[in-house]
Structure 1
Amino acid sequence: MRLTTSRRASWAALAGLMAVSSLQAANLSITQFRVRGPSGGNDEFVEVQNTGTAALDVSGYKLNASNASGTTGTRLTFPAGTSVAPGCFLLLANGASSGYSGSVTPDLKYGTGITDDGGLALLNASGAIVDRVGLSSGSAYKQGTPLASLGSSNSDQGYGRKLNGAGLPQNSGDNAADWVKVAPTAPRASTSPCTVQGLSVSIADATVSVRNGDDQRMPFAIALSEPATTDVTVHATTADDTATVAAGDYDAVDTTLTIPAGSTSTTLDVTVHGAKTAGPDKAFRVNLSDATGGDVTIAKGSAVGAILNEIPVAAEIWQVTGRGQVSPLLGKRVTTHGNIVTAVGPAGFTMQTPDSRADDDRLTSNGIYVFTSTTPSVKVGDMVDVEATVDNYFNLPELKNAGITATKHGVRLPKAVVFGDTIPSSDPDALSCGATNFQCYVGMRVSIDNGMITTGNLRFSNEPFAEVYITANGKRSLREPGVRYTVPVPEGVNLPNWSGNPQVFKMNTADFGAVTPNTPFNAGTTFRAEGVMSYAFGMYTFIPTTIDIKKAAPLPRAVDSRPFYAVRVGALNTERFCDTEFNTTFTCSGGDTEPTADEVKLKTQRLSAYIGSVLKLPDILSVEEVKSLQVLQGLAKQLGDDYPAQYEAILQPGHDPSGINVGFLVRTDRVRVLDVRQLGADETWQDGGETAFVHDHPPLLLTADVPSIVGRMRINVISVHPKARQNVDKTGPAADRDREKRFLQAKSLATQVQAIQTDRKNLLAPLLVVGDFNSYQFSDGFTDVVGLVSGRYDDSQNLLKLGRNLVKPALWNAVDSVPAQDRYSFLFTENFGNIQGQSPRQVPTHQVLDHALLNTVARGLFLKMQYGRGNLDAPVQTIDDSASATGVRKAIGSSDHDGFVVDMVALPLSLF
């Protein structure tokens, strides 16, 4: 992209000229809010009030929010027909999980939270800001000095607006001066008492648009709260702001107005002079003083007069888009000539600057979307002139209300930006577009030659098969070594931060007709495509115009059949395989109720299909998150009914308050169980001053004889499921407690492992430690559970220090033998800030939580480790549809983990 010196100068001048944001006034004010409450970050509300003297129709108004980096988004659009009586309130509240917990019933709900250090704004139906308050200097919404963030402690505190002498919300234009901390909060809704005023006078804001040099009359309404028995007089004067009398923007007024007895209003007219050239919006103020008659007070004594310059600005696309998500020309009418249509959708099209006129600023985009509401008449390859209004639709810069003229047809398209190994960047410290990886490409042509779909389709609204996540480098979005992105590396830990996979982004395949709507895609599918970058519902999104599937990933994808001379050991987290009885401290299901008998039956059938057809009937299968022996026996029977194999269910209850346990399914037609016992089941620790068990799910040791090439072979298998890591990457007492417990669990298990493998009778027996370790194959920087259990713990990479390894010789993690791009057993969606657009951005991360650790003997017999794919790669709708499928497809979605199998050569002890 190229930009001449003269273009750079004109662009800088234009950016400075348009720096004044559009102004619009209204009588709706934010009067109280909190962005975090007793239930957490979603326990929030925003209280608004009509401070005017007449009912206010707020249909189409918006509640917007900003984060500390200035990224904005709409949280709520007020429904049609919403009205607020004078002096009355509306309560807007977060209705998401762990949302608003107050006793006052909200009038309207939204589903996406507001950050602790961001800001919020009210916009009218035209998109102009009518009130705003910020909690940081970086917020896009603030007035004057922003308020201080109240932090991340979950308590009932917020901010309330101060009242002026007339009892109305104070709005001096400075947040710090107008707001005060409120604790506890006391939100008001439409059912709350309205503010009752005595006799008071107010002035309303006014707006005019200038489209030529003609003078305009700008009327300001001045109103009494109720009729007076005597004449009321008030003095009104204008005051310069960005609009000045000296510049000829308007004529000064200094006059006294009278509202006759029995009347409630009068009008102040200010003459606004027109403009002949495009320019910024400007504003002045009208101030009231010296009110007399009938004990009148001034309730709202200052009004904004907004002068909106709607003369079209001649601009290139890159001048319209600017460097951020909000155009520097937002709200302005623009003309842009000689651009090329690159994609056409059902309600608009994208156009791009020809390569010969493209600028050389990598932080600006040369493409933009033109919204037409109906199918455009233009075609790809048309050269067009467009006059339109610059809009920001959910943070997508676009042109609307457009006049479009095609001047040429069949023009060569601009060169596409090639996404691949280096674009978008995989380094969060060197992103492709400065603060993000994608903003500078929005609206532009993009080509992807080596794309990979990394998740199955999500659902959206009435679309069962909607967006997918993708990479352009042909790789999975894997969790990689290092401390979690955005989490400070603990002192004394020699690890970098993991990148967080900023190269992952979203694809909407059907928006421009590249595929038929509701086409399913399985994760692992590879493709090549051309299309345009866009921004949809908080996320940078690639919309293909053409797509070619190179290799479609099938589901389910079963492991290879067991070699006849091998023994197969596997593990599967069954995802809360519960019975119907609620007889534990918490529900086994994790929800409000336990499953019904029909739901247990369906779960049993789906798990049977997965174990039998995807894992291919392991000889010994560790199962985690199983409620009871009875429900596991039901699965063993189902396997026997469905397949030519007979299984025995083994389970010993642990200490989990929701009742989930570890156990085994053992093929009795091939395996003879010798012994089963829990390890360290009675070990305790001091948990917050109280004695508690170390293991919620005590490791379970199975000793068995398995068939070998000649005779039988003894084998030891330990089923494990340590504490989950949901608090590990956080700070505070809960994180400290969970890290310590995981550390103690791993030490306990390591001690048991060492005792088993050094026992004389086990010296020649293979030992496998298998299951859901809730830990990666490398350290997270706090406690490397897998490394500690295997004897490969590195104190320099962990906050909690071990001193010396407990397991010698060390165990080997068979995960290391799996192809790198297949090393995942769980899909976790993580929040990483605004790199991908939404704040917080949600990125699907594939990670290994399910491992197989082998002693020296077992490694010597090792053949292969494989994950059976039937859960993580499926579209959401496919998972639901598979519940009613038959055969192997019933396995899809049986759990939230993918299980694995390890095959070993079976040799009798006498041959060692």
Structure 2
Amino acid sequence: MPSSIPRSAAVAAVVSAALAAGLLAGSAASADTSADAAAGVRVHDIQGTTRVSPLVGKQVTGVTGVVTGVRTYGSRGFWIQDPQADDNPATSEGLFVFTSSVPTVAVGDAVSVNGTVGEYVPGGLNSGNQSLTQISRPTVTVVSSGNPVPAPVTISAFSVPDAYAPEGDPAAGGSINGLTLDPETYALDYYESLEGANVRVGTSRVVGATDPHAELWVTVKPWENANRRGGTVYGSYSAQNTGRLQIQSLTPLAQQPFPKANVGDVLAGTTEGPLDFNQFGGYTLTARTLGTVVDRGLERETTEKQHKNELAVATYNVENLDPSDPQEKFDALAAAVVDNLASPDIVALEEIQDNNGAKNDGTVAADQTLKKFTDAIVAAGGPAYEWRSVDPVNNKDGGEPGGNIRQVFLFNPERVSFTDRPAGDATAATDVVRGERGGAALTASPGRIDPANTAWENSRKPLAGEFTFRGRTVFVIANHFGSKGGDEGLTSHHQPPNRSSEAKRLLQAQAVNAFVKDVLAIEKQADVLVLGDINDFEFSETTKALTDGGALYPAVKALPRSERYSYVYQGNSQVLDQILTSPGVHHFEYDSVHINAEFADQDSDHDPQVLRFRP
């Protein structure tokens, strides 16, 4: 399904109320809700020089333009463009006309439109998204047909500024909505100045693979934080990668399938159409003409096999795995463990669901899920892994309702042993004590860390386990921190965007850090690995909190900057999955094994991580 969502009258009413309150434009005075009809205005008059139309709420008549694109699905409507541009680069000459039903116009029609100017916020006001200027409830008159489409503006490496966005106005709560556009200085202003206009990109590299919603991402700046596999790396909050642009097709999938592309492939030729703004990607080229995907042969990576005296530990988010998933998914994930990850000695799994998946009937056990997975690993030629875990309280750990996702340890008993002590339950905490030999030990193995801490409310609790490899104790803590749900996107009207989800992850990181410090207080050189889906970047406050006091080191930082990623989101290759090491882990090899995130065909949306060291 396309990522644009239908615009409802209810949403429009909410937006109008917000405009009247000054929430979008920064002041109530900028929202003109007069019902008087404005005649003789042109498209650029409606678009204005800020992100919010100076005519919002007004009835307009006789707005003329040539149809440049028609969307018959999702948010139905069409785009018009005025061939007679003004001389102000801040005012777009294109505009979306929202019809709600299938439009009756065609590309090349010259039309005259009456209707109401509005500002639609994809995802709603609380999303933080910018608004899309449009005409709704239109009356459309076709003046003539077969007219040439206005020439597209070429979006290129040289037209998109390097600076991403202006700083938000403090008086408007950090919003950039009321700021005059400066398209020669800021990338977001440049794209906004082309909102609704006919644009094109030439041959461009794919930096975000085709997804299930029939969209992909390209970059018009091939050198911008590039890595050797073709992606664009997100390395800091101030390096947003301005050359990224989402591509969708205006042709319904039933008429023409959307091409499959992997990161590093090339979208060759011309891709042309109106520039839209939607909830799930911000500025999006809705292609009337779509280029051709050229396969550059991206291959899935394989890590090295550990030496006999090396312990290999991996983390892998297997994306809501449960017994109802097709056997093909189990087989593919198992083959990845055996072939791509070289059968690690210990594997921390995230997003293992209970025995009936999302069926919300109180089931919490996951033994059937794990047996099906470990059997598939054996069938793929891998070891007969054993597993350890702690079942959660029903529907208390977040994730898909009824699924009861949790972390699980798989381990190869031929290579490593698990120190079983009376296992903790979902609500009982494991603690650190001095063991019989004077070193650190867990009171419950496996056990959960501080599960009563409010930091873990409706979130996965860390799973701690004590392993032995060649006579050496290794503590492993498997994590799945709170998601980024609720954070504003990079194209938010707040600049910098609000990242509200960080507050919970910060508390979670502090809890795990405190636990590791308890281990190290008893055994300074203890081998401790903290790993899993941290849901945050290597430069984030979350990671800083995990490493506080030198308790841990983010092993991904041992990689070159261009290789630090485990996930691709909106064309940015970024770190979400991590393995962190205690000071006792002196020498290690680290590998982010790229087998999923860069590909259109995925077994999970995360890439697994592997660390090899000698305890």
Normalising by the smaller structure, the TM-score range is 0.5 to 0.7
Give the direction of change, closer, same or farther, for the CA distance of 1:563–1:625 in structure 2 (3 Å limit). Answer: closer
Distance 1:348 1:455 in 2: 27
How far has the Cα of 1:745 moved from its partner?
2.4
- Alignment-derived partner of residue 438 in structure 1: 191
Question: Could you tell me which residue of structure 1 aligns to residue 124 of structure 2?
Answer: none
Instruction: Work out the CA distance in 2 between the residues paired with 1:520 and 1:897.
Output: 19
The aligned counterpart of 2:495 is none
Q: Which amino acid aligns with 1:562?
A: K
TM-fit CA distance, 1:850: 1.9
Other-structure match for 2:464: 699
Corresponding position: 1:868 with 2:594: yes
Compared CA separation, residues 576 and 753, structure 1 to 2 (3 A) = farther
Kindly report the root-mean-square deviation, in angstroms, between the aligned alpha carbons of the 2 structures.
Answer: 5.3
Name 1:454's counterpart in structure 2. 208
Letter of the 1:721 counterpart: N
Q: Distance in 2 between matches of 1:510 and 1:636?
A: 44
Residue 779 of structure 1 corresponds to 540
Residue segments in structure 1 that go unaligned for 5+ positions in a row: 1-72, 78-91, 93-111, 121-132, 147-172, 175-241, 243-280, 283-307, 379-385, 460-465, 483-497, 579-596, 706-712, 760-765, 788-792, 794-804, 829-842, 879-891
Residues 737 and 599 of structure 1: CA distance in aligned 2, closer, same or farther (over 3 Å): closer
How far did residue 374 of structure 1 move?
5.0
Q: Are residues 1:428 and 2:165 paired?
A: yes
Aligned partners of 2:407 and 2:480 also within 8 Å: no
Q: Is 1:651 matched with 2:405? A: no
The residue that corresponds to 1:517 in the other structure is 257
C-alpha contact 2:464 2:477 (8 A) present in aligned 1: yes
Classify the secondary structure of the residue corresponding to 1:456. coil
For structure 2, the residue ranges without an aligned partner over 5 or more in a row are: 121-131, 168-180, 353-364, 398-403, 422-429, 433-441, 444-448, 489-497
Confirm or deny: 8 A CA contact 1:649 1:666 kept in the other structure: yes
User: SS of the residue aligned with 1:617?
Assistant: coil
Residue 417 of structure 2: which of 673, 684, 701 is its match?
Answer: 673
SS for the counterpart of 2:385 is strand
Q: Distance in 2 between matches of 1:551 and 1:397?
A: 37
- State the match for 1:641 in structure 2: 379
- Provide the residue aligned with 2:493 in structure 1: none
Distance in 1 of aligned mates of 2:30 and 2:193: 30
- Find the counterpart in structure 1 of residue 564 from structure 2: 823
Paired AA for residue 472 in structure 1:
V
1:90-239 matches, cutoff 5 A: 118-120=15-17, 136-138=21-23
Shift of 1:736: 6.8
Q: Of residues 766, 770, 779 in structure 1, which corresponds to 2:531?
A: 770
Measure, in 2, the Cα distance between the counterparts of 1:743 and 1:628: 29
Q: 1:561 to 1:358 in 2, by over 3 A?
A: same
**Structure 1, residues 632-657: CA drift from partner, whole Å, max 9, x if none?**
344222211222x2222131427665
Aligned to 1:721: 479
898, 902, 908: which is aligned to 2:611? 902
TM-score normalised over the length of structure 2: 0.63
CA–CA separation in structure 1 for the residues paired with 2:463 and 2:378: 28
Q: 1:776 to 1:546 in 2, by over 3 A?
A: closer
Q: So what's the TM-score if we normalise by structure 1?
A: 0.45
- 2:104 alignment partner, one of 373, 381, 384: 373
Contact in 2 for aligned 1:663/1:719 (Cα 8 Å)? no
Amino acid in structure 1 at the alignment position of 2:316: L
Structure possessing the higher radius of gyration over alpha carbons: 1
Q: How far apart, CA to CA, are the structure 2 residues paired with 1:727 and 1:342?
A: 35
Does 2:14 correspond to 1:76?
no
Cα deviations by residue, 1:829-867 (Å, 9 ceiling, x for unpaired): xxxxxxxxxxxxxx67654232223467755353x5122
Q: Secondary structure at the match of 2:155?
A: strand
- Alignment: residue pair count: 502
Secondary structure (helix, strand or coil) at the match of 1:365 reads: coil
Distance change in 2, residues 1:850/1:783 (3 Å): closer
More strand by share: 1
Deviations 1:397-420 (A, max 9, x none): 58942323779x8x9x85743333
Confirm or deny: 8 A CA contact 1:633 1:648 kept in the other structure.
Answer: no
Cα distance per residue 1:799-839 (max 9 Å; x no partner): xxxxxx253xxx543312445454333467xxxxxxxxxxx
Query: What is the aligned partner in structure 2 of residue 109 from structure 1?
Result: none
Distance change (3 Å), C-alpha of 1:366 and 1:376: closer
Alignment of 1:278-289 (within 5 A): none
Aligned pairs for 1:498-537 within 5 A? 504-509=244-249, 511=251, 516-523=256-263, 525-528=265-268, 529-535=270-276
Task: Among all aligned residue pairs of Structure 1 and Structure 2, give the percentage whose two residues are the same amino acid.
Answer: 15
For 2:125, the equivalent position in structure 1 comes to: none
Q: 1:719 to 1:632 in 2, by over 3 A?
A: farther
SS in 2 for 1:518: coil
CA distance in 2, matches of 1:351, 1:737: 46
Aligned to 1:853: 580
| SS of residue in 2 equivalent to 1:699 | strand
Shift of 1:542: 0.8
Deviations 1:664-716 (A, max 9, x none): 323345x142746676466759857x999x993342232213xxxxxxx9683
Question: Secondary structure of the residue that 1:535 maps to in structure 2?
Answer: strand
Q: 1:718 to 1:522 in 2, by over 3 A?
A: same
Q: Distance in 2 between matches of 1:631 and 1:406?
A: 59
Alignment map for 1:589-668 (pairs within 5 Å)? 598-599=324-325, 604-626=330-352, 628=366, 631-643=369-381, 645-653=382-390, 657-658=396-397, 661-668=406-413
Contact 2:553–2:582 (Cα < 8 Å) also in 1: yes
Counterpart in 1 of 2:518? 751
Partner of 1:590: none
Distance 1:718 1:504, change over 3 A: same
